[in-house]
Amino acid sequence: MQKIVRTKRSSISISMLLVIMMVFSLFTGIIPTAQAAVADNFTAETLTLQPGASAAAMNFAWYSDRDDENNASTVKIAKKSAMNGETFPVNATVVEGALGDATAGKSWHKVSVSGLEQGVEYVYSVSNDKFIYSEIYEFKTGSAGSFTFAVVGDPQLTTGNQDSTSNYRPNGEIGTTKQGWQDTMSVIAGKGVNFIAGVGDQVDVSLTVNEAEYANFFAPAEMKSIPFSPAVGNHDRNDGFAYHYNIPNEQSFAILTGPDYGNPSNPQAEAEARGNYYYTYNNALFVVLNTSSYPTSTAAASLVVARFDATLQTAVSANPDYDWLFVQHHKSTASVADHLADRDIQYYVEAGFEKLMDKYGVDFVLSGHDHVYARSYPMYDGMPDKTGASGEPNVTLTMGGDGANYAVDPKGTVYFTTTAGSGLKYYELFNNAGNLYVKDNIYYPYLVNGLFGSVEYMKGNIPLSTAKYLQNKTPGFIIVNVNGNEVSFAYHDLSAEYLNTPYDTYTVTKSGQNEEVIVVSATVSAFVTKLNGNKNDLTITVTEQLSDGTTNDIAVTFSINNNAADTYSVGPYIVYVDTKGNDQIRDCRIVEMAEAA
């Protein structure tokens, strides 16, 4: 307790501070609390929230300067309503976590807090030494029922400017990626999201950890109050992903190295093996997959896709009661710009990535990588379900799609691609002037009218999956609302045109979701039918009152000898009946209900 505070934090020691405050109390009669004594606040570095292992949990991650005194990771947390000004209540929860070496001169800190209540505003503060706590931050947990989240991709923070062709020039000139990201985050926060689902390329430099880029990525204050679930993009393949994020339910896989995975020396193999994880939010399950690597054959991609299979299997087994299944990953397989004909994506598809979405009945795939917005038709077995569509998408250079903006019980998966979240760069559509990365792919992508390959694509034949797309050269994001049996998507960007009015909306409804009813109560009746000899028929009817206002009768007839007193199984119920006078009922009651009832 009598720990000396280093001068970089404070010019006086905590013990001195306590003495001063005790002297102060002699004169005033006010007893300072322990919390008041440690109000030597500091700003936590690169502080971020990730979803916890369950809906009642939250994960925290931050950095500190690496030294002997920064030797712990704790989060102090309380309901905001219990705070006395800036002072935490005496019974505030303190949770300890882990720390380790990050890049030179830095330590990473990670803490997971569980047992949170729904729909509650919390305040929290972090400490690197269990003693001195940071300034106070806030977040609010989601309520039961409907929720809203944002999808952002490819903020790909640099220390430089946005794309030179950007249409987004709020001050009349092109801003930095840091500013673009801040603007995007501000708008997203204003839309009241519960969390943000990332789809990769959070930072730009992939071979080494560029902390200046990470600092820019975590700079918006919203990162400290809105949980962010990151995916590993090809640009995130460095140790920074492991240092900076505290992801839940991460799956462990062996490192794959060698020429089949892109770079023969493959210095990024470790990052390519991590980042497969899952989390839940109310009635939805989110599975995050790592498509950052560059397999050079279908066989090589198959080993990666097998990891996705295992991750999905684990996730759905652990959470079998979800209504909606989302997959987040980076390299879109259903896009419309420069990455469209890339062979690594072709190999992922040939290795069964999309078939896996069919296998698990994934409702929605959220992705990025192509720095453009695109939405697919519901896709199953590689083919689009155009039920409700008004026709083929029209083909223009910047935007297109048909008018179908809803689907009821679609068979298949809807794939979304979202554009650059900070405006770093934008890829062209149908560009045959040189930007398509792979111009000689004769196998991929699969296009409308049975065509395929780069050359046909560059003629303006769009992928057969494409329902809607936009290249507005403006930072954009998707807002998703999950409300029971209905999920609605709205694509916005920072332009005046689409800031408040979405460019694209899409709603999927599962008509069977609300048909589930439960038994509210059950009553039983019985009667005896007199037969010849000493045999009678006993008919027992259990009438269930259901939650939708209807009733359900379960009637079973048993053969009994004269009068009988016994128990009988009627559906899930055990019923006791005692008869008299051949055809009279002396007693009739449910004595036990099976669990299913």
Which residues of the shown chain bind Fe ion in the complex (CB under 5 A)? Answer: 154, 156, 201, 233-234, 369
62-84 per-residue burial string, b: 16 or more CB within 10 A, e: under 16? bbbebeebbebbbbbbbeeeebe
Q: Which is nearer to Fe ion, 233 or 502 (CB)?
A: 233
Q: Which is nearer to Fe ion, 188 or 372 (CB)?
A: 372
Angstrom distances, CA of residue 258 to CA of 210, 224, 293, 296, 422:
25, 39, 12, 10, 33
What's the min distance (Å) between Cβ of 383 and Fe ion?
27
Instruction: Report the run of H or E that residue 298 belongs to, with start and end.
Output: helix 298-318
- Cβ distance 320 to 278 under 8 Å? no
Angstrom distances, CA of residue 42 to CA of 3, 17, 374, 402:
17, 17, 42, 52
CB nearest Fe ion: which residue? Answer: 201
What's the min distance (Å) between Cβ of 460 and Fe ion?
24
What's the min distance (Å) between Cβ of 385 and Fe ion?
28
Token pair for 59? 């994960």
What's the min distance (Å) between Cβ of 379 and Fe ion?
21
Q: Which is nearer to Fe ion, 153 or 393 (CB)?
A: 153
**Which residues does residue 127 pair with via DSSP β-bridges, in sequence order?**
74, 133
Instruction: Report the run of H or E that residue 179 belongs to, with start and end.
Output: helix 177-190
Q: How far apart are CA 121 and CA 203, in angstroms?
A: 30
What amino acid is encoded at 9 in this protein? Answer: R
What's the min distance (Å) between Cβ of 498 and Fe ion?
21
Q: Which is nearer to Fe ion, 312 or 424 (CB)?
A: 424
Helices (H), 459-548: none
What's the min distance (Å) between Cβ of 200 and Fe ion?
6
What's the min distance (Å) between Cβ of 330 and Fe ion?
6
Count helices and strands in the chain by DSSP H and E runs: 10, 31
Of 260, 377, 247, 275, residue with least CA distance to 331: 275
Whether the upstream peptide bond of residue 445 has omega within 30° of 0, thus cis, is yes
Q: Which is nearer to Fe ion, 224 or 473 (CB)?
A: 473
Q: Which is nearer to Fe ion, 224 or 369 (CB)?
A: 369
What's the min distance (Å) between Cβ of 95 and Fe ion?
35
What's the min distance (Å) between Cβ of 293 and Fe ion?
12
Strands 74-79, 93-96: pairing kind:
antiparallel
Of 285, 336, 331, residue with least CA distance to 304: 331
Q: Which is nearer to Fe ion, 345 or 414 (CB)?
A: 345
- Cβ distance 499 to 184 under 8 Å? no
Q: Which is nearer to Fe ion, 335 or 454 (CB)?
A: 335
What's the min distance (Å) between Cβ of 342 and Fe ion?
10
- Cβ distance 250 to 241 under 8 Å? no
Q: Which is nearer to Fe ion, 222 or 344 (CB)?
A: 344
Angstrom distances, CA of residue 425 to CA of 152, 283, 476:
14, 35, 12
Q: Coil, strand, or helix at residue 4?
A: coil
Q: Which is nearer to Fe ion, 426 or 491 (CB)?
A: 426
Token pair for 240? 């920074």
Q: Which is nearer to Fe ion, 155 or 175 (CB)?
A: 155
List the 466-470 sheet strands across, edge first: 277-281, 284-288, 324-331, 364-368, 414-417, 373-376, 466-470, 399-401
Q: How far apart are CA 569 and CA 70, in angstroms?
A: 66
- Cβ distance 364 to 487 under 8 Å? yes
Helices (H), 29-174: 34-37
What's the min distance (Å) between Cβ of 301 and Fe ion?
16
What's the min distance (Å) between Cβ of 106 and Fe ion?
25
Q: Which is nearer to Fe ion, 45 or 428 (CB)?
A: 428
What's the min distance (Å) between Cβ of 8 and Fe ion?
38
Q: How far apart are CA 531 and CA 538, in angstroms?
A: 10
Q: Which is nearer to Fe ion, 474 or 579 (CB)?
A: 474
Q: Which is nearer to Fe ion, 132 or 429 (CB)?
A: 429
Q: How far apart are CA 527 and CA 537, in angstroms?
A: 8
What's the min distance (Å) between Cβ of 428 and Fe ion?
14
Instruction: Report the run of H or E that residue 95 belongs to, with start and end.
Output: strand 93-96
